[in-house]
């Protein structure tokens, strides 16, 4: 029982962590170019609802994912316009995005509450990989969107640290004036990655409504977008660490879920509090560590850039 239980927990940790991972990767890209986007929750919700609506109508979950990317990306574009072009306060704009996204998703999703999606994402096995003892059932009995992250995370990591566009991305986030003086278009880079970030958040939302709990519920993200924002700090803006962090959160989520099934006598309300409390504790711990090591956020995170600022 113990080994089986462990495998179930770990496998569930991955599925529960995947929506957070998508959103965290998106936020990581945005923050790497210097734009803080606190609208992740709103973008995820819009992704979840557009993904669901289009998957139901087209009967193809991939159409749903595409729609979710467009939905999340469109919202992020609004944030980019406000913060990059109009130099608005990034915190407040992000909050507006979350509120707007919450409202919009509730509005669009109203007629879809309780409707089942026929063709949701289902686990597929990957030949011999899935047959490896322990690792197979933990990592390779999942739906395709999980497998996408297995490729996406290392690719992003390599992209950020070892390619020219990655260098430009980091430079814009660290010191936009320096990047600009060498002909890297700060505006273009910021628009690009903020929008890409929104698309990824949208996919994270769609994962919830099309794979994790294939249904649409109002506010179904339940704070996962905010956890993703916290995770980026935990990850020190590194995709590999974001993956690890997402699975830890997924594990906690899963543990709460499973503990009930196992008949643990703690009321479910308290188990549901765990991820939120854990987020706070993790933030406190990483902040202390970041202070000790003096490694931290991209240098220009949260600051608008204006070339003619005097």
Partner 1 sequence: MTADFLVEMKQITKRFPGVLANDRVDLQVKRGEILALLGENGSGKSTLMSILSGLYRPDAGEIYVEGRKVTFKSPREAIDAGIGMVHQHFKQVDTFSVAENIILGSKEAKFLLKAGKVEKEIEELSRGYGLQVDPTAKIWQLSIAERQRVEIVKMLYRGSKLLILDEPTAVLTPQEARELFQVIRQMTARGQSIILITHKLNEVMEVADRVTVLRSGVAVATRERQQVNQRELARLMMGQDIIVPSKKNPGQFGQEVLKLESATADSDSRRPGLKDISLTVRQGEILGIAGIAGNGRRELAEVIAGLRPLSKGKILIGGKDVTNLSPLEIIEEGVSYIPEDRLGSGLVPNLGAVDNLILKEYRRPGLGRGPFINRRKAGEFAARLIQDVGVKVTGLEVPVKKLSGGNLQRLLLARELASSPKVIVAVYPVRGLDIAASEAVHKMLLEQRSKGAAIVLISEDLEELLKLSDHIGVLYKGRLMGILPVEEAEPEKIGLMMLGAQPGEVMAS
Partner 2 sequence: MIRLERRSAPSPAGMVLIPLTAIFLALLTGAVFLYINGLGSPKGISWGQVLAVYTGMLDGAFGSGYGLSETIVKAIPLMLCGLGVSIAFRMQLWNIGAEGQFYMGAFAAAWVALSFPDLPACVMLPAMVLTGMLCGGLWGLIPAVPRAYLGVNETITTLMLNYVAILWVNYLVFGPWKDPQGMNFPLSKPFTPAAVLPTLGNSRVHLGLAFALVLAVALWIALRQSRWGYEVTVIGESPRAARYAGMNITKNILLVMFFSGAIAGLAGMAEVSAIAQRMQQGLSPGYGYTAIIVAWLAKLNPFAILLVSFLLGALQVGGYSVQSSGVPAAIVFMIQGALLFFVLGGEFFNRYKIVCTGKTKMEV
- What is the rounded distance in angstroms from the CA atom of residue 146 to the CA atom of residue 247? 12
What is the rounded distance in angstroms from the CA atom of residue 297 to the CA atom of residue 302?
10
285, burial (CB in 10 Å: exposed 0-12, middle 13-18, buried 19+):
exposed
240-270 burial by CB neighbour count: b if 16+ within 10 A, else e? ebbbbbbbbbbbbbbbbeeeeeeeeeeeeee
Work out whether 177 is an interface residue with partner 1 (CB under 8 A).
yes
Determine if 108 is a binding residue for partner 2 (CB under 8 A).
Answer: yes
Beta carbon of residue 25, minimum distance to partner 2 (angstroms, whole number): 17
Partner from partner 2, partner 1, none binding residue 229, C-beta < 5-8 Å depending on class: partner 2
By CB under 8 A, residue 93 contacts partner 2: yes
The Cα 119–Cα 117 span in angstroms is 6
What is the chain's alpha carbon radius of gyration, rounded to the nearest angstrom? 19
Distance, CA of 233 to CA of 258 (rounded, Å): 28
Subset of residues 287 to 306 that bind partner 1, contact rule: CB under 8 A: 294, 299
Q: How far is the CB of 302 from partner 1 (least distance, A)?
A: 17
Contact partner, 144, from partner 1, partner 2, none, Cβ < 5-8 Å per class: none
132 touches partner 2 by CB under 8 A: no
Told to check if 233 binds partner 2 by CB under 8 A, we report yes
CB atoms under 10 Å from CB of 38, counted, come to 20
Instruction: Give the residue from 269, 305, 2 showing the smallest Cα distance to 172.
Output: 305
Is residue 172 part of the contact set for partner 2 (CB under 8 A)? no
Tell me the closest approach of the beta carbon of residue 138 to partner 2, in angstroms. Answer: 28
SS3 4: helix
Select from 114, 261, 269, 293 the one that contacts partner 2 (CB under 8 A). Answer: 269
Q: For residue 242, state whether it binds partner 1 (rule: CB under 8 A).
A: no
Positions that interact with partner 2 (CB under 8 A): 38, 42, 78, 81-82, 86-89, 91-93, 95-108, 110-111, 218, 222-223, 226-227, 229-230, 233, 267, 269-270, 272-273, 276-277, 279-280, 283-284, 287-288, 291, 308
Positions that interact with partner 1 (CB under 8 A): 162-168, 170-171, 174-175, 177-185, 294, 299, 307-308, 310
């Amino acid at each position: 029982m113990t080994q089986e239980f462990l495998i179930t927990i770990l496998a569930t940790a991955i599925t529960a962590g995947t929506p957070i991972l998508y959103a965290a990767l998106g936020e990581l890209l945005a923050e790497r170019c210097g734009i803080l986007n606190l609208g992740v929750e709103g973008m995820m919700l819009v992704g979840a609802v557009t993904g669901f609506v289009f998957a139901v109508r087209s009967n193809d979950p991939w159409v749903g994912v595409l729609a979710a990317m467009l939905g999340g990306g469109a919202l992020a574009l609004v944030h980019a316009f406000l913060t990059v072009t109009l130099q608005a306060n990034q915190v407040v704009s992000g909050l507006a995005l979350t509120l707007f996204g919450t409202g919009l998703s509730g509005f669009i999703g109203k007629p879809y509450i309780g409707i089942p999606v026929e063709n949701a994402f289902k686990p597929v096995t990957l030949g011999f990989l899935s047959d490896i003892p322990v690792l197979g059932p933990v990592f390779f009995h999942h739906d395709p969107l999980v497998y996408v992250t297995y490729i996406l995370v290392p690719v992003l990591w390599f992209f950020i640290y070892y390619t020219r566009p990655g260098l430009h991305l980091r430079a814009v986030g660290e010191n936009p004036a320096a990047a600009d003086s060498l002909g890297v278009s700060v505006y273009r880079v910021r628009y690009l990655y903020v929008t890409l970030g929104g698309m990824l958040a949208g996919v994270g939302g769609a994962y919830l409504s099309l794979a994790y709990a294939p249904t649409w519920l109002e506010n179904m993200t339940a704070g996962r977008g905010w956890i993703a924002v916290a995770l980026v700090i935990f990850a020190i803006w590194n995709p590999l660490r974001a993956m690890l962090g997402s699975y830890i959160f997924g594990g906690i989520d899963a543990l709460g879920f499973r503990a009930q099934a196992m008949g643990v006598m703690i009321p479910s309300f308290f188990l549901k509090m765990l991820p939120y409390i854990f987020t706070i504790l993790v933030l406190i711990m990483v902040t202390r560590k970041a202070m000790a090591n003096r490694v931290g956020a991209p240098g220009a995170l949260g600051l608008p850039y204006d070339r003619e600022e005097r």
